[in-house]
Chain A
Amino acid sequence: MKPFDSLETPAIPLALANVDTDQLIPARFMKRPRSEGYGPFLLHDMREGPEGPVANPLDDPRRAGAAVLVARRNFGCGSSREAAVYALADFGVRCVIAPSFGDIFASNAVKNGLLPARVSEEDAEALLGSAWVEDGRALRVDLAAQTVTAGNLVVAFAIDPVWKTQLLNGWDDIDLTLAERPAIARFRERDAAARPWAGLAPGD
């Protein structure tokens, strides 16, 4: 996983609460292999109407190359589909700023090197309403300092310390787990005695 340090890019203002993962990527696009790229399907049904493309903050030419998205509360709620994170990442988004996130979405995000930055409701509104963001000027996201800077506006964000370390280092869970193999073996031994009803015999 690519380490996350800081970003300096325009931001996409998405002034919506409860942006669920069904909206982030509608189910009908999830049959494709990841290698084909999920970026074109990000928020597809908000960007494409029955009569063709609809004006929307993602495709605004002023924000070409934006790697940050700002939204309202409960971003990424709903389905556990990691494809929602793939769509954001493949579109080029590396950080979502919102007052709160769906738990599974946030966890999926970190595993793909995407920063879920939690800000207060007031700060989210300040960013969404700022001319700096609206005009597509670059804002700066600094993970080590946990700040977002948009012109004169400096906003602090929260991130779980474990996730922060993981993102900064680009660590992968699997490597950490494989180092725990002896502990897993010891657990298995005492667990078999404590919960004899929990295991299953291999199938036929």
Chain B
Amino acid sequence: MAVKKAAAVARTPPENRTIIDKLWDAHAITTREDGTSLLWIDRHLLHEGSFHAFDQLAKRGAGVAHPELTFGIADHYAPTRGRDGSVANPEIARMLDQLSANTARHGLRLIGLRDPRQGIVHVAIPEQGLTLPGLTVVCGDSHTSTHGAFGAFAFGIGASEVAHVLMTQTLWQKRPHRMRIVVDGPLGPGITAKDVALTIIARIGADGAQGCAIEYAGSAVRALSMEGRMTLCNLSIESGGRLGLVAPDETTFAWLRGRPFAPQGAAFDAAAEDWRELASDPDAAFDREASFSGVEIAPTVTWGVSPEHAAPIDATVPDPARIADEGRAQAVRDALAYMDLRAGMRLDEIRIDRVFIGSCTNSRIEDLRAAAAVLAGRKAAAPGLVSPGSSAVKRQAEEEGLDRIFREAGLEWVESGCSMCVGMNGDIVPAGERCASTTNRNFKGRQGPGSRTHLMSPAMVAAAAVTGRLTDARALLAGREVVG
């Protein structure tokens, strides 16, 4: 009967499927006439903000269906200083205690604040080998798309869906449209995945991929490290995408091999055989396509209050008087007023008050190396915070001496967590201040009430720190080597 039901479902012919179709078909338990499928969820990740879902469980008196597939991790409210003692802020201590109590009550594994594996969920969970190609991964966090870097079908969900996954290990989902974004050709020196992502968002818009699952393809994407792929997939949600992914390949397998929760030895090799089959078939059709030329991508920064407000560093702030569409012109006027910028001014004239290097977007070892390459032997003209993405990244950076470079430049080197990207732990940008930030959202008040955010790559943030204004990092990287 199960077979009959599955056969009745309209599917793309098996030889012409995209990676998105293959992942979907492998997880569809049943499909209703209206096209909604019940999907099996392989990995479920929780953080302190997940308490609403546990409250829903308590209301129903329900339990967790598959406790072995859910992991809790302390990141959103994690203090970045003074972790050895007790947490000073009682409200934040309560958020952390709540996560411990909820995970303990339901027998879920927890990577707590003082666990050596602690870190931002989208950095630390992949490090443990918990994210694998071919899995569905969900978390009550929109940047769950990060895990797509491994060829996983990974997306953010709300609290009601978190409760649903806890109770059933499944989710009802509408099949997303399939979008392919191709970036071909080499990237120029000093150009990173962050520049690629911001360039994509600026062109297609903050809702350009709404309703879509994105496959990133092309030679520039293939050439990215896993860290770069994670940055690219992370920002899928900022173009409205439901998720973003990259087909797994030898880069993926080399990164995963030997990680604690990944299959080991011969089992890994057998799994990799299956994973190679996930790549989109050569004739597979996508619902939408967009393509970019790698060599044309410049260091990119945001000037406004949406990630789509992004432009190359040598451009100028747009002039609303020159925008014909009144709605768009008004949005630009509103953004410039909030950001306190003048229409037509050069982006590299914008002075900054503060820098932040961290977040699930750009806090991995490669990001810290790129920032350190700019900062080595130089002083920062503005104060700032460097928060590595995980405790493991922090240890590695310290082994490489990167922490010393940041400290000697005058920046603060702190513990790992979501920190100043979202300000929940108290790390905020004071009202009216302007921050050059490696994070993912320049929304009004995102980094604190009245804060002004400019998004850019780690090297670009480091360059802004050195000069005190938005700056093309390539000028400061000349003759310096970035260790990949």
A interface, CB within 8 angstroms of B: 15-18, 20, 22-23, 26-28, 30-31, 33-34, 45, 50, 72-74, 77-83, 85, 100-104, 107-108, 111-112, 121, 125, 160-162, 165, 173-174, 176-178, 180, 183-184, 186-188, 190-191, 194-203
Contacts and interface: CB of A to CB of B under 8 A. Distances in A.
Contacts of A28: 423-424, 449
Nearest to B95: A31
Contacts of A79: 141-142, 422, 441
Contacts of B211: 103
B261 A184 contact: no
7 contacts: A78-B142, A82-B158, A83-B159, A162-B32, A184-B170, A200-B261, A202-B67
Interface of B: 2, 5, 26, 29-30, 32, 34-36, 38, 40, 42, 49, 51-52, 55, 60, 67-69, 77, 91-92, 94-95, 109, 132, 134-135, 140-142, 156-161, 163-164, 167-170, 172, 174, 206-207, 210-211, 237, 240, 242, 261, 263, 267, 270-271, 274, 305-306, 308, 327, 330-331, 334, 422-424, 431, 441, 443-446, 449-450
A17 B331 contact: yes
Q: Which of A28, A174, A178, A198 has the most CB of B within 10 A?
A: A198
A80 B68 contact: no
B207 to A, nearest CB: 4
Q: Which of A74, A82, A103, A104 has the most CB of B within 10 A?
A: A103
B449 A80 contact: no
Contacts of A45: 444-445, 449-450
Contact of B240 (A103, A177, A201): A103
Contact of B441 (A22, A165, A176): A22
A186 B274 contact: no
Nearest to B208: A74
A79 B158 CA distance: 9
Q: Which of A27, A85, A201 has the most CB of B within 10 A?
A: A27
B2 A186 contact: yes
Contacts of A121: 327
Contact of A104 (B40, B157, B263): B157
A180 B38 contact: yes
A108 B156 contact: no
Contact of A74 (B2, B140, B240): B240
A22 B444 contact: yes
Given A82-B158, A104-B157, A107-B158, A26 B445 contact: yes
Contact of A111 (B60, B160, B308): B160
B142 A80 contact: yes
B95 to A, nearest CB: 6
B288 to A, nearest CB: 15
Nearest to A85: B158
A31 to B, nearest CB: 5
Contacts of A111: 158, 160-161
Contacts of B30: 180, 183, 187
B159 A195 contact: no
A23 B29 contact: no
Nearest to B304: A18
Nearest to A22: B443
A177 B206 contact: no
B261 to A, nearest CB: 7
Contact of B424 (A27, A160, A191): A27
A78 B240 CA distance: 8
Contacts of A78: 142, 237, 441, 443
Contacts of A191: 26, 40
A25 B270 CA distance: 47
B331 A176 contact: no
A160 B174 contact: yes
A184 B29 contact: yes
10 A-B pairs with least C-beta separation: A108-B158, A197-B271, A82-B158, A82-B159, A111-B160, A74-B207, A80-B156, A80-B142, A187-B29, A186-B2
A194 B26 contact: yes
Given A17-B331, A200-B68, A80 B168 contact: no
A104 B158 contact: yes
Nearest to A125: B327
B404 to A, nearest CB: 32
